[in-house]
Amino acid sequence: MEITKLPLFPLLAIACLQAATATAQEAKKFQPIPNNLVVLTFDDGNVSDLTTVTPILKKHGFSATFYITSGWIGRERRLTWEQVKELDAQGFEIGNHSSSHPNMLHISDKEIHEQIVSFDWALKEHGIRRATSFAYPGEHHDRRIVKALTEAGYTNARRGLTPEYPLYDRGGRGPAYNPKEEDPFLIPGTYCRGDLSPSHEEFRAALGQAKDGSICVLIYHGVPDVHRHCTTSVDLLTKDMQYLKDNGYTVIAMRDLSKYVNFSTRPKDIYAPLVARLGITVNNLKCDTSGDNPSFSWKIKTTRPQTQAAYQILVANNPEILESNRGDFWDSGKVVSDNSNGITYAGKPLAKGKTFHWKVRCWNNPDQAEIERVKNWINKELIAEMRKTRAGAYSTPASFKYKKTP
């Protein structure tokens, strides 16, 4: 019997249609990320998790993830296994915070594995649901630990604020979690809250990032905590939770993100999104046209202790040329300078009354002393990236109208 071969093009079209259909069906599994979505987390397993925190959360209908260090169970002012089991029974998520809270950057692969799986064994022994989320002790993570977590069957992990923001005991601001950019095993903390980071302005600014597909991840410790630098007062937590309730925030546990986020989708390089944010950006562009030549000024924006090392200005005849990162009237090239005020135009003659378009990018000058301070707590790969001077993204374009006769 003769077999009729179908033309190649229809076969490719069918395959593409099937792939598109599968992608659409996969997308339907996940809800759109709403604005004002907050993931609430508490670290270390303080007894206050059960006695103080959960009554406040249940009053508002909030959920949370409690990251437990299993080797600390039963210590003074720490949870017992019966209390952890009660948290689980009340519907709160129990996450893995290692078995002994070491600096995992400085232990072997075998020890990393043991820190993860011994926690899993302890939960199973006490009849507590298996953990699917991990929080890095002290914020310390590297590729080995991420690999060990994936092999152990975890779906996600929460990191801290670094390297994009400075590492301080007091906590403070961090980046928002954008699932389209971040690896699910490197979910950043957006704000590490406590009595040493009590700023209402910073807290509200962090919450304000929970929009346009980004999520605010809050990190608390004990209320109060065994350690003073980690502690949060009952009054501060009460006011924080009331603020979230009054302002319509949806407050969930880390595992609840599975309604919105496909944890199986991962970037090619897990550290690429972090490294991309280590430079500086530019805003508040101004052009003074009162003199013989225009002069340009701007402000640099950075989340790290660093300054401007160099700049490049592009001036173009129309927005389309500028959008292609070309300056047909002036391209300053890379100018090594920390000056960002009153840079005089030095390009082609400008026509009077015509509108021109410009933008600028800057290179960063890292604070090497600050990096040296934290090198024991951040993996060598990221420390090397933090030391680099790199070009930031171009600013949002601006325009000016030349007034003088050339």
The 10s digit of each residue's pLDDT in 157-191 is 999 999 999 998 888 999 999 999 999 999 999 99
Task: For residues 258 and 336, state if they share a domain.
Answer: no
What is the pLDDT, as a whole number, of residue 211?
97
Cα–Cα distance, 49 to 90 (Å, whole number): 12
Residue 4 lies in a domain: no
Convert the pLDDT of each residue in 271-320 to its tens digit. Answer: 999 999 999 999 999 999 998 899 999 999 999 999 999 999 999 999 99
What is the pLDDT, as a whole number, of residue 115?
98
Q: Are 305 and 370 in contact (CB under 8 A)?
A: yes
Alpha-carbon Rg for the chain, nearest whole angstrom, is 26
Domain that holds residue 162: 33-273
Residue 395 lies in a domain: yes
What is the pLDDT, as a whole number, of residue 14?
52
Residue 325 lies in a domain: yes
What is the pLDDT, as a whole number, of residue 52?
98
What's this model's pTM, rounded to 2 decimal places?
0.89
| Both structure tokens of 303 | 């989340």
Task: For residues 324 and 249, state if they share a domain.
Answer: no
Per the structure, the count of domains in the chain is: 2
**For residue 40, what is the domain's CATH number?**
3.20.20.370
The list of the chain residues with pLDDT below 70 reads 1-28, 404-406
Domain boundary among 243, 273, 303: 273
**For residue 310, what is the domain's CATH number?**
2.60.40.10
Alpha helix (H) residue ranges in 99-233: 109-125, 143-151, 200-207
Phi-psi bin for 76: left (phi > 0), alpha (psi -120 to 50), beta?
A: beta
User: How do 191-192 and 216-220 pair as beta strands?
Assistant: parallel
What is the pLDDT, as a whole number, of residue 263?
97
Q: In degrees to the nearest 10, what's the CA dihedral of 228, 201, 158, 88?
A: 70
Cα–Cα distance, 37 to 249 (Å, whole number): 6
What is the pLDDT, as a whole number, of residue 3?
46
Cα–Cα distance, 61 to 151 (Å, whole number): 34
